[in-house]
Amino acid sequence: MRHVQGRARRACAALAAALTWAGLLAGCTPGGSGGLGLDGALGKRPSPEDVIRVTPDDGGKDVRPGERLRVRVPDGRLEKVSVVRSQDAQDTPVPGRISADGLTWQPDDGRLALAAKYTVDAVALDPHGRRSARHTTFTTYVPEERFIGYVTPENRSTVGTGMIVSLAFSRDIVNRAAVERAVRVTANPPVEIRPHWFGKNRLDFRPERYWKPGTEVTVGLGLRDVEGAPGVYGLQAKTFSFTVGRSQTSLVDAAQHMMEVRRDGRLLATVPITAGAPKSPTYNGKMVVMEMLEVTRMNSRTVGFGGEYDIPDVPHAMKLTDSGTFLHGNYWSPDSPGHVNVSHGCVGLMDVKGGGSDTPAGWFFDRSLIGDVVEVVNSKDKQVSPDNGLGGWNMAWNEWKAGSAVK
């Protein structure tokens, strides 16, 4: 009886094995009805490339910034996506999100950075619950030509209430709207600040009226990888800031040979001056102190006056225009301030050779800041051009706003 039972058990095992292989083979043949397959739990396992699609392609080079970064699955769902950007010897995670249906991941910022390597790691489930993982990399285009913006005023400086934020670009800008959008100027306390283009390589920002004392101004340059001209991309991703100091404005009356200096609206002093002679009058209008030099050389050849003068040690010089207008100390014509206009367009104050702290020029220099406004009236010259130095205050607000490239 035991012998018969043993044969019966062996027969049952053989039958079970035969049925199992039959099922496996059925699952592997065309038209099989979905039993367990030889290559996986539910048929042949698809490759990770079929389950998870990544663009740009794995191993791609010179990828342009306009191409889209996207991870997707044709069906199933994405579980996790991690993207890292390697640039300038730094690794930075790229923020993004998986869509509600789980089929797509896209970055929050759709624009690719230039001169960077991207690494993509993704995990997904196919419709049968099988997990796949994919690792890809690609590198982006390295431009041969770049541009930068030189910012006025200097970072962390304290300036006068008339300071205008000015960016001078190293290359002519064709895509002005794109560049303008990449520059953000904000103030605390808040005030409306608007941009104005002067030509192809200069962009200035100012509020409608002079800044309030104590205002903190921040300039954000998001120029990196912005295409300023065909094939020319920005390089900077930086933030600058400055503080507006006390209010000081000075009114130069060229006909009266006097200058009134006001601090926070109160008359601080009346100072004798000499302005431009009849053949070389001083510009009228509002000018902003751009630079302050204890001593500088002034040569008439540099401003188109031939060889009329060359003074190696002009004291207490404050630059007002790009064309060469200064407010400075005058020791070579001591009787002129307060009486007669003898300069070649500058505004001169009484001083001594080497510059004295107790002279009118020294007194004014010690109490001035870059960004202070000096306004000239009653001169026999034209009004200073808004793009000559920081002369934008001579432009009406509506006209200023019309100079934006973003409509």
Higher confidence at residue 306 or residue 43? Answer: 306
Task: Give the pairing of strands 90-93 and 53-55.
Answer: unpaired
Question: Annotated catalytic, 257?
Answer: no
Sign of CA dihedral 149, 211, 360, 326: positive
Report pLDDT digits (tens) over 335-368: 999 999 999 999 999 999 999 889 999 999 999 9
Q: What percent of the chain lies above the pLDDT cut of 70?
A: 88
Structure tokens at 168: 């001078």
Q: Indicate which residue of 196, 316, 344, 346 is catalytic.
A: 346
pLDDT confidence band for 26 (50 / 70 / 90): very low
201 SS3 class: coil
pLDDT confidence band for 27 (50 / 70 / 90): very low
This prediction has a pTM of 0.79
pLDDT confidence band for 43 (50 / 70 / 90): low
Report pLDDT digits (tens) over 278-298: 999 999 999 999 999 999 988
Rounded to 5°, angle at Cα 335 from 332 and 336: 85
Report pLDDT digits (tens) over 163-188: 999 999 999 999 999 999 999 999 99
Q: Which CATH number applies to 48-140? A: 2.60.40.3780
Structure tokens at 201: 């390589």
Structure tokens at 64: 């342009």
Residue 215, pLDDT score: 98
Instruction: Assess whether pLDDT exceeds 50 at residue 21.
Output: no
* Cis ω before 56 (30° cut-off from 0): yes
Domain ranges of the chain: 48-140, 145-245, 248-391
pLDDT confidence band for 42 (50 / 70 / 90): low
Query: How many helices (H) does the chain have, and how many strands (E)?
Result: 5, 29
Instruction: Assess whether pLDDT exceeds 90 at residue 316.
Output: yes
State mean pLDDT over 269-277.
97
Task: Give the pairing of strands 326-330 and 347-350.
Answer: parallel
Half-sphere CA count of 14, side-chain side, radius 13 A: 6
AA letter at 65: P
Q: Indicate which residue of 196, 316, 328, 344 is catalytic.
A: 328
Do the domains at 48-140 and 145-245 have one common CATH topology?
yes
CATH architecture classification, 145-245: Sandwich (2.60)
Question: Annotated catalytic, 28?
Answer: no
Q: How far is CA 333 from CA 94, 103, 319, 354, in A?
A: 66, 82, 20, 14
State mean pLDDT over 238-266.
97
pLDDT confidence band for 30 (50 / 70 / 90): very low
Structure tokens at 94: 């790229």
Residue 301, pLDDT score: 75
CATH among 3.90.1420.10, 2.60.120.620, 2.40.440.10, 3.30.930.10 for 248-391 = 2.40.440.10
- Quote the DSSP letter at residue 57: P
Bridge-partner residues for 212, per DSSP? none
Residue 28, pLDDT score: 36
Query: Residue 62: which H helix or E strand, with range?
Result: strand 60-63
Q: By the 8 A CB rule, do 217 and 211 touch?
A: yes
Residue 298, pLDDT score: 87
Judged on CB neighbours under 10 Å (0-12, 13-18, 19+), 396 is exposed
Instruction: Dump strand ranges (E) for 49-142.
Output: 53-55, 60-63, 70-72, 77-87, 90-93, 96-98, 104-107, 117-125, 131-140
CA–CA separation, 94 vs 90, rounded Å? 12
Residue 39, pLDDT score: 46
DSSP for 257-310 reads TEEEEEETTEEEEEEEEE-B-TTSPPPBEEEE--EEEEEEEEEGGGGT-TTS-E
- Average pLDDT value for the chain: 89
Bridge-partner residues for 318, per DSSP? 292, 327
State mean pLDDT over 147-171.
97
Instruction: Assess whether pLDDT exceeds 70 at residue 12.
Output: no
State mean pLDDT over 12-25.
36
pLDDT confidence band for 36 (50 / 70 / 90): very low
